[in-house]
């Protein structure tokens, strides 16, 4: 009824009401005119969009770096060497609480909590919620890979873990590696989902879903990876640190939040600044910003 009334009113004015179909996921991949995640965010008419993200824009987590090392061992020396390396990672990284995992002094009560309850300052989840989420995720992923997960099996990101979880993770990694190496990345199984982190005009991406696939793609030497972004989780800006949810809640001070951001992205950011500065010098441009200023 309302639609008919609107059509009548608009029709009297000489206009026509038309429906425009917007794709559920807008594809911004283009060889001719590639765009960055931030450019796609502003130009996209859909809540979700896919961009080809250059590999040098992706910042791997500690877990992903371990997987890449494991895959290199698998490629060069076989499964036994890869398993030994993965076992070594889980043996080495065994935080006793949140503070140790985040590399913070244990000043607050939640810092002494189970390491699985760690949260980041830019996240909008409480420690208990995040721990429950990780347990649910681990149980779901294990079930899909033939393992009935138990708490004693541990978490895929750090130790201690059971032998069967190591076997599951290694099998999962090598299957994905063998598939991508032979067939390439197939997004029919679902897109990698990413979050964009910005410091000034520098863009950095970390996966929220599809960590294994991204690690494999980096290992095999792809120059870019198609990643989907969701407007609800798309950009975390360092300049907005005082407004991040877990800073506002008081879980982190502003200094702690900035320190954690730097711990996670600082090396990549400084390398990017140096690379950009070198390119500007080669072109003969004047530098208004020194690497130390960022």
Helix (H) or strand (E) holding 259: helix 254-283
Q: Residue 45: which pLDDT band, with cuts at 50, 70 and 90?
A: confident
Q: Residue 237: which pLDDT band, with cuts at 50, 70 and 90?
A: very high
Place of tokens 């961009």: 51
Check pLDDT > 60 for residue 227: yes
> Minimal CA–CA distance to 205: which of 101, 49, 56, 26?
56
**R_g (Cα) of the chain, nearest Å:** 22
| pLDDT number for residue 6 | 46
Exposed (0-12), middle (13-18) or buried (19+): which is 164, by Cβ within 10 Å? middle
pLDDT digits (tens, 9 = 90+) for 97-145: 999 999 999 999 999 999 999 999 999 999 999 999 999 999 999 999 9
288, two tokens: 């208004």
How many Å is the maximal CA-CA distance in the chain?
76
Q: How many Cβ atoms are within 10 Å of 283's Cβ, its own excluded?
A: 7
- Phi, psi dihedrals of residue 52, rounded to the nearest 5°: -80, 110
Asked if 226 and 215 touch (Cβ cutoff 8 Å), the reply is no
Asked if 98 and 112 touch (Cβ cutoff 8 Å), the reply is yes
Which residues are CB-neighbours of 82 under 8 A, at least 6 positions away? 70, 71, 73, 74, 170, 174
- pLDDT average, residue stretch 261-276: 86
Of 41-55, 146-160, 179-193, 251-265, give the lowest mean pLDDT range: 179-193
> Minimal CA–CA distance to 224: which of 58, 96, 19, 91?
58
| pLDDT number for residue 287 | 41
- Looking at every residue in the chain, the average pLDDT score rounds to 88
In DSSP notation, 120-184 reads -TT----HHHHHHHHHHHHHHHHHHTT----GGG-BTTBS---HHHHHHHHHHHHHHHHHHHHH-
pTM score, two decimals?
0.83
Check pLDDT > 60 for residue 164: yes
Check pLDDT > 80 for residue 30: no
- pLDDT average, residue stretch 45-65: 94
d(CA 255, CA 246): 13
DSSP 6: H
d(CA 249, CA 211): 29
Check pLDDT > 50 for residue 228: yes
């Amino acid at each position: 009824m309302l639609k008919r009334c609107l059509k009548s009113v608009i029709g009297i004015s000489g206009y026509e009401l038309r429906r425009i179909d917007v794709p559920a996921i807008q594809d911004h991949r283009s060889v001719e005119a590639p765009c960055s995640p931030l450019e796609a965010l502003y130009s996209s008419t859909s809540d979700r969009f896919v961009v080809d993200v250059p590999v040098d824009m992706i910042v791997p987590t500690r877990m992903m770096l371990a997987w890449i090392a494991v895959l290199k061992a698998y490629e060069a020396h076989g499964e036994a060497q890869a398993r030994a390396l993965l076992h070594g990672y889980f043996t080495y990284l065994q935080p006793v609480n949140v503070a140790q995992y985040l590399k913070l002094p244990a000043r607050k009560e939640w810092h002494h909590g189970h390491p699985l309850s760690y949260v980041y300052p830019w996240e909008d989840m409480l420690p208990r919620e995040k721990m429950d989420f990780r347990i649910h995720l681990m149980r779901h992923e294990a079930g899909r890979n033939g393992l009935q997960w138990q708490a004693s099996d541990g978490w895929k990101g750090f130790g201690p873990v059971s032998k069967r979880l190591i076997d599951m993770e290694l099998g999962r990694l090598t299957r994905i590696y063998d598939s991508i190496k032979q067939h390439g990345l197939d997004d029919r199984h679902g897109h990698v989902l990413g979050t964009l982190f910005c410091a000034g005009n520098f863009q950095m991406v970390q996966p929220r879903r599809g960590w294994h696939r991204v690690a494999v793609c980096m290992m095999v030497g792809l120059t870019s990876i198609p990643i989907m972004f969701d407007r609800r989780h798309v950009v975390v800006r360092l300049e907005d640190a005082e407004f991040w949810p877990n800073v506002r809640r008081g879980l982190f001070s502003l200094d702690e939040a900035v320190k954690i951001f730097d711990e996670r992205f600082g090396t990549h950011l400084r390398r990017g600044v140096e690379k950009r500065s070198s390119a500007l010098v080669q072109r003969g441009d004047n530098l208004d910003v020194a690497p130390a200023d960022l």
